[in-house]
Structure 1
């Protein structure tokens, strides 16, 4: 390939890929005023441009070696096949619209895997809930409107509910990123023009609400999907992001002046997916090898090219990225994906075929949940063995596939085909002009096979024991279903039970007969972890030892999500962008090229200069941090101003809180007398409108109390209720010198008040808990940490930065010293 160094340019941030991670990053960072370039290897797909004819479909595949740069990237590995997307909007162009959060209890910590090793997530549901909320506000998912006229005639949705009820399983209509109504809150209606924001969409075309055509997975030509090109990418471009299609990144490396150099090529396919012939297109080789390589320099680099794209890029560039450890390429899985069919379902009496009409509706309308027996604390269903959690969803397909299904059924029904031939022969003999139509109707059997057969999609917590490698420069995957045998046995048993509950016959996909699967949800390859041994990147997606280099896609997942991964990938990217911008504002990225890349062989005990990342193998920040998560439960009494009387109030209702406390700099934390920690998470109560994210919070750990002998754990948490009203929760654990018997109740009980508005920064002075005369108190109550929750809290401690173990020891020593001073044996003796 020709190399063109003269084309080098500089940008603040380069985002590689435009899927659920890259689109979120482009929007968040462009809104913050950074200069953002997005490089997407595929082209844009406005409504009406997705392939529908056989000729168009033949060119709809990503095969650069043949000059085809289409939407579908189909990969065949030794033990499985996979389908991913290539286009502006990434996987959102062909996914089935489901936006589900990862189950709270499935964020496991060092859980043993069936074949050895463990699965560990360095983030929790509490960490992600505020970011789940943020993504949902943009993509506006809504459950399928099954009860609304026009949308109520979708039999497969009702069939799934029937099957779940008969089996005693949890069933629900999952949130779908589809426009069923012209705008959020409006009445649903088929084929109505979608009302766009003022800035419109980047395609400049009119979208229409869902027409129930079942074409979600081959691209929505109506624009009904709230795909990333209509949402995040449109607003990213509005805020200045440069969206470049036909740009494929080939290599990355640290730059001597800081930041990163990125080599890329421009494909320039036309609207039919053919590559345009360039001036050197007669030089031999494949079209992909006949384009010049250009180079771009960026201060920060976000890799979001998907599991295969990002992992492959890091594997090809790992010699230029010293310090990336053995975790590169590991933790791969297919998110437990499996396809099966409920064939020839029957009505309630088992006599006649039951219409499930899979071609009517969006591809997925319904979800059945299988609990995880270890994590959810639920008994497994009698029809399936115990095991890891999973989901089952209905499938769908375009109407033309029904003809293929009927044709596929003909060879199995020789009698029906024979009757057709005999009738035709008789009609020809007697000259009956109406016999042909009757014969054809009988041949198609009233379309019963396609109308009464339903694809069933399974996914869940398979085993992330796969490895991605390079073989002669091509990405390969060493993974099979063998390590997840228990998962697939359980899921297939559940799929069979669903088929039989509908009166149908269970059928595996042809792939399964060869012990293969097709996954559309590949995960892992550049997993996040607590340190450089466990992961390629930290919990915020930043690659260890390489400041400003982020992984923000499914490659960063350390294991299967268990349900559809799109929302979790987007939420992780949103969280990573928040940290990136915090570090940008703090000046943490002001590094020189020599200081940017850590050397594993260098001593890690040398302190870094202020503002310069320490040169150690397991950190990206000059500070040592500590983080842990606490869960509290209790009650809230609306309209009550005193926590002491709230317990007896008839207005009392349950309230829960899960908070992740982060000490960003252990030195500053210990030096400041109030010992501040940042708080993120959520608070849940009916009076607040359900679970509400903490949008800003602070906890003072053993700050000064009412007297010189007292200490306080003081909480200030900002949130808004479901009406948009601002609220501040103020709580104080008053720690007075006492005997050991007071240690537990004092440190685990939090009386609090809920105030109108957001208490300004700087007013956390020690007087907020004086309730007299405070007219802005809207509620009061008490929260407590239970003994089981406390034990779980002990497992959530995380550290990053130089000398992580010593950092954690310093925090624990500080905490225990304060408790010893307040409640130690000398206090107990003094009371005697």
Structure 2
């Protein structure tokens, strides 16, 4: 019988990877988590996103942060790289999607989702400490004002978030013993409402994965190896289906030239490197011959929640829009369209450079001329306010950012190709029909809301110049299906055509959720792990 270094090796430590590590270690398995990002603590997180080296992720350029911005032909995707995955930089908004999502896409009919998922959502909510936002700020009050002015005030709500707020009456920032896991977890401090969630919480209030699932996994013996990039996974002993397990080759993430490879073996491998990361790795393994029988469905039906990012800016306002939690409230402007109020902390204005004046018109090159005309008109009528509205200075304190999401289905495909500008290596590229870059309902709401509240509407520059939307919610590409022709994994997250191989991350999703996907990924990971027996019974 083949001896392995580990029972399970998990590639990635985001929501799927951390849940898997926690539950597998509970079941008695020897587990290792390989994470290409850094381990962040309250002491080494950046104080603002202007500390680019510690905020943005581009190792080749010496940027070792936790947020990656990847521009494709059809979309710009934001995603995280860190021990704890995207939880380090996400806005910890944890919402249950509408039931109809389980009856759309290729996972429809694979299970009695309506009966199965509520229990897994309940477990995920308990583990992530989900509660209603108790630190509303000026941006939330402004969103309520906008909703009332546009006739959708009844849909306003405070978000369900993974934040520790402490006890009523105690001062923000009060330290408490572990409030979630009967003393097994770390001590916590209550939220200050500083707005710094997406630059990394330096106060111990945000329920990142290294404070719950991953923390408990390590306490139970899981090995977490940071700054380690997986470069190959191949079956052992010429067993092409992986029935004897796998060898996994790794390199140091930040090594540029002398990349010494290391090798471990495992009976089972779980890919949990995020939708983009898992797709990229599986394409390499499929085309490189290590795992050639991965379904040809790989990379198909990648979804983005049909998102648009807009906003309203109030140059010179005395209200500090940066205060609160990253996403503190939301509204529904129609049955398909959901808007959340987003903020960055005071001084973290780096991404303000992605915003420009709200622009209508049709998507395409003509929209550039509409944008120039709109800009000219604003500067002519209100030169000082117009100029301030496009400057990064004080942007986080003066802006309410809108994250717009729709449940309407739409997708693109990822392929593994050689780009024209770098023919020496293959990379992910997007193909297919364009997903929406302009949501008329959302633009109309933003225009009315800005006028009603005395602000200036904002669009993102990528939409205007490149006809490319921006999203932090890349989903699918290794979706569930009934057969290899309809998906990459089956209803229990097992990779078709292989044994002991799983995908448990955002790439498994098979429909637009219309809400932030982290809670659903967590709940589906809980479901996936429920099918694996205890080691003693295996």
Q: Give the C-alpha shift of residue 295 in structure 1.
A: 2.0
The 5-angstrom pairing of residues 357-376 of structure 1 reads 357-372=320-335
Q: Give the C-alpha shift of residue 243 in structure 1.
A: 1.1
Give the one of 513, 521, 541 matched to 2:464: 513
Q: Are 2:349 and 2:394, in contact at CA under 8 Å, matched by a contact in 1?
A: no
Partner of 2:271: 303
Q: Are 2:33 and 2:224, in contact at CA under 8 Å, matched by a contact in 1?
A: yes
CA distance in 2, matches of 1:314, 1:55: 34
Cα distance change, pair 540–187 in 1 and its aligned pair in 2 (3 A): farther
Cα distance change, pair 144–109 in 1 and its aligned pair in 2 (3 A): closer
Q: Give the C-alpha shift of residue 21 in structure 1.
A: 0.5
CA distance in 1, matches of 2:350, 2:509: 39
Partner of 2:342: 395
Q: Give the C-alpha shift of residue 198 in structure 1.
A: 2.9
Query: Which 5+ residue runs of structure 1 have no aligned equivalent?
Result: 1-7, 111-117, 146-150, 269-274, 276-286, 346-352, 373-388, 419-441, 588-832
Q: Are 2:411 and 2:435, in contact at CA under 8 Å, matched by a contact in 1?
A: yes
1:459 equivalenced with 2:405 (yes/no): yes
Cα distance change, pair 98–188 in 1 and its aligned pair in 2 (3 A): farther
Query: Which 5+ residue runs of structure 2 have no aligned equivalent?
Result: 358-375, 419-424
1:216 equivalenced with 2:197 (yes/no): yes
Q: Give the C-alpha shift of residue 576 in structure 1.
A: 0.2
Q: Are 1:358 and 1:455, in contact at CA under 8 Å, matched by a contact in 2?
A: no
Partner of 1:267: 252
CA distance in 2, matches of 1:541, 1:450: 40
CA distance in 2, matches of 1:543, 1:121: 19
Cα distance change, pair 24–160 in 1 and its aligned pair in 2 (3 A): same
Partner of 1:531: 483
1:158 equivalenced with 2:110 (yes/no): no
1:330 equivalenced with 2:297 (yes/no): no
Cα distance change, pair 121–451 in 1 and its aligned pair in 2 (3 A): farther
CA distance in 2, matches of 1:187, 1:254: 57
Partner of 1:579: 531
Deviations 1:641-676 (A, max 9, x none): xxxxxxxxxxxxxxxxxxxxxxxxxxxxxxxxxxxx
Q: SS of the counterpart of 2:533? A: helix
CA distance in 1, matches of 2:218, 2:146: 45
CA distance in 1, matches of 2:107, 2:36: 32
The 5-angstrom pairing of residues 286-435 of structure 1 reads 287-318=255-286, 319-344=289-314, 357-372=320-335, 389-401=336-348
Q: SS of the counterpart of 2:23? A: helix
Q: Give the C-alpha shift of residue 230 in structure 1.
A: 0.7
Moved over 6 A (4+): 402-406, 411-418, 447-450
Q: Are 1:14 and 1:39, in contact at CA under 8 Å, matched by a contact in 2?
A: yes
Q: TM-score, normalised by structure 1?
A: 0.55
Q: Are 1:67 and 1:288, in contact at CA under 8 Å, matched by a contact in 2?
A: no
Q: Give the C-alpha shift of residue 466 in structure 1.
A: 1.4
Q: Give the C-alpha shift of residue 108 in structure 1.
A: 2.5
Mean Cα deviation higher: 316-325 or 124-133? 316-325
CA distance in 2, matches of 1:250, 1:190: 44
Cα distance change, pair 505–16 in 1 and its aligned pair in 2 (3 A): same
CA distance in 2, matches of 1:519, 1:452: 22
Partner of 1:131: 120
Q: SS of the counterpart of 1:101? A: coil
Q: Give the C-alpha shift of residue 358 in structure 1.
A: 1.9
CA distance in 1, matches of 2:445, 2:337: 10
Q: Are 2:93 and 2:162, in contact at CA under 8 Å, matched by a contact in 1?
A: yes
Q: Give the C-alpha shift of residue 455 in structure 1.
A: 1.2
Q: Are 2:269 and 2:501, in contact at CA under 8 Å, matched by a contact in 1?
A: yes
Cα distance change, pair 466–101 in 1 and its aligned pair in 2 (3 A): same
CA distance in 1, matches of 2:320, 2:114: 37
Deviations 1:458-486 (A, max 9, x none): 1223544311222244432315773446x
Q: Give the C-alpha shift of residue 496 in structure 1.
A: 3.8
Q: TM-score, normalised by structure 2?
A: 0.82
CA distance in 2, matches of 1:126, 1:355: 49
Partner of 2:492: 540
CA distance in 2, matches of 1:464, 1:119: 16
Higher RCO (CA-CA < 8 Å; seq separation 6+): 2
Note the aligned Cα RMSD (angstroms): 3.5
CA distance in 1, matches of 2:395, 2:55: 29
Q: SS of the counterpart of 2:327? A: coil
